Amino acid sequence: MVRYIFITGGVVSSLGKGLAAAALGALLQARQYKVRLRKLDPYLNVDPGTISPYQHGECFVTDDGAESDLDLGHYERFTGRPANQWDNITAGRVYRDILAKERRGDYLGATVQVIPHVTNHIKQFILEGNQEYDFVLVEIGGTVGDIEGLPFFESIRQLGNDLPKNSCIYLHLSYMPYIAVSGELKTKPTQHSVKELLSIGIQPDILLVRSDREIPLEERRKLSLFCNVRFEAVIQALDTHSVYDVPMAYHKEGLDNQVFDAFMIDPQSNPDMEIWEDISYRLHHPEGAVTIAVVGKYTLLKDAYKSLIEALVHGGLANHVKVNIEWVESDVFELEDPSIYLSKMDGILVPGGFGERGSEGKIRAATFAREHNIPYFGICLGMQMAVLDAARNLAGITDAMSSEFDPHSKSRHHVVGLLTEWLKDNKIEKRNEDGEIGGSMRLGCYPHSLNPRSHIAKIYGNCNISERHRHRYEVNIDYKKKLESVGLVFSGISPDGLLPETIEYSQKMHPWFIGVQYHPELKSRPFAPHPLFKSFISAAREASLMR
């Protein structure tokens, strides 16, 4: 029998429901259960692909090309199970599908309403495709009380009656603030949050209470009494040194045992926490440190680079070092000398991004790394900017540009151009610059071949790889010969030979300089660091030791 755990949040947003769901999924896996995690988002966008990183953080891309919520990244990193397009749905997607059915006449003349049509659609999404799993964890985005979330809360309320007895529970994540003036932790916000849940017919089985300090027993008893939750099921969720300490912390507090109690089942085995114990030990006992400059466009909101941050941490775990990140907004290099910021760095990483702002600064960062032999890792736009550096400063194409920044000029050399067609599953995908923006990029996993003599092939230990993409501009293959004549190696090409996927300089020219068109950070795991991040941090460590 499939069992469902519905995870809701209250009091304030950004409490970490996704992280809590991912950590609980990891604990269930540690007892040999098969787990699936899914996210319901109440906003009206069809997906987060067109939302600014400043508003929504990172847009996480799955193997099958879905632009999804960043919480799916947590799910993958903690469980190792690749997410797909059926693991995240938004209110926008729900209403789009329902209106399409209505236009086709699928409702046979019925008046289409939130109940039952919207709620039935949400319930169908939750229940489909779960036959092979023991537990399905469903996170509801936003905060209880948000008006746009009501159809989703109503749907999981109905499922509490629809599903067999003891096959679903409700876990509510709340917040207990500390009032410094009075020296008290306050239970009232959580009481009101649970009351809001009760008003729509949902009684939480477990309370997971976020706090920055130990919650006294008396406050836990008070929450138990006023929220109608068993005392043992009031679990404190304290701040931790790292997100990878959370599974161990939740296990210590008894969260997994309370889940089994709520389902009235005996766990099939004792948890095997060896992986998480090892990760925690490495985090707390590094054998050194490296400093990486991340030269980006959205550095004011770190969630815009969530998977990137975690992949760097994973690279540190693999090399037994702590990774310190220096955030640099790329447009400062358009006014100031990069050496002020970059000369003492052990490595420079230029991530993806969109738009002209800060692009010249990213090119200057690539130039500085190349000229000063600092390990350089360019991802997506970071690769394209490294190519423009080579074109301008080595190949003599002084007006080299991307058509993303200069679309109407006919006189300049567009070394990077708009991608209008590509091969996917043996079919031609076509786009044009006047089409819709949403879902129009080259998205998801694509295979490509690496030059067996290249540095990157040695790092992977394989010449045939598949990585996740999210871009609509591409390096122009017509400039390959010219750029290779000055030392830039096109080390990875798409199967049809038309799309450059990776570039590098030979190790004779530079100790570690690699650019990739894809996003390797999306496939990195703490227990399986991505080879490129593992190698990049290793190179940074060598640079640090030589400094």
Query: Closest by alpha carbon to 67, among 471, 473, 516, 494?
Result: 471
Please provide residue 186's backbone torsions phi and psi, each rounded to the nearest 5 degrees: -105, 130
Distance between CA atoms of 225 and 141, rounded to whole angstroms?
A: 27
CA distances 254 to 292, 349, 535, Å, are 37, 40, 38
Distance between CA atoms of 336 and 262, rounded to whole angstroms?
A: 59
H-type alpha helices, 81-227: 91-104, 119-127, 150-162, 188-199, 217-227
Q: Are the C-beta atoms of 520 and 351 separated by less than 8 Å?
A: no
Residue 174 tokens, joined: 């709340």
Q: Are the C-beta atoms of 173 and 9 separated by less than 8 Å?
A: yes
Element (H, E) at 468: strand 464-471
H-type alpha helices, 320-437: 339-342, 359-371, 381-393
Whose tokens are 């693999």? That residue is 318
Whose tokens are 């990891």? That residue is 26
Radius of gyration of the chain (CA): 25
Distance between CA atoms of 76 and 517, rounded to whole angstroms?
A: 22
Whose tokens are 């925690």? That residue is 280
Q: Which residues lie closer than 8 Å to 402 by C-beta, 6 or more apart?
A: 359, 384, 388, 414, 415, 416, 417, 473
How is residue 467 annotated by DSSP? E
Q: How many CB atoms lie within 10 A of CB 511?
A: 16
Q: What angle do CA 437, 439, 441 make, to 5 degrees?
A: 80
Distance between CA atoms of 8 and 247, rounded to whole angstroms?
A: 19
Distance between CA atoms of 537 and 291, rounded to whole angstroms?
A: 9
Give 368's Cβ-side CA count (13 Å radius): 25
H-type alpha helices, 285-380: 306-319, 339-342, 359-371
Q: Which residues lie closer than 8 Å to 41 by C-beta, 6 or more apart?
A: 48, 69, 88, 89, 90, 91, 141, 142
Q: Are the C-beta atoms of 451 and 491 separated by less than 8 Å?
A: yes
CA distances 48 to 66, 242, 245, 540, Å, are 10, 26, 28, 33
Return the active site residues. Answer: 380, 519, 521
Helix, strand, coil in percent for the chain, rounding step 5: 40, 25, 35
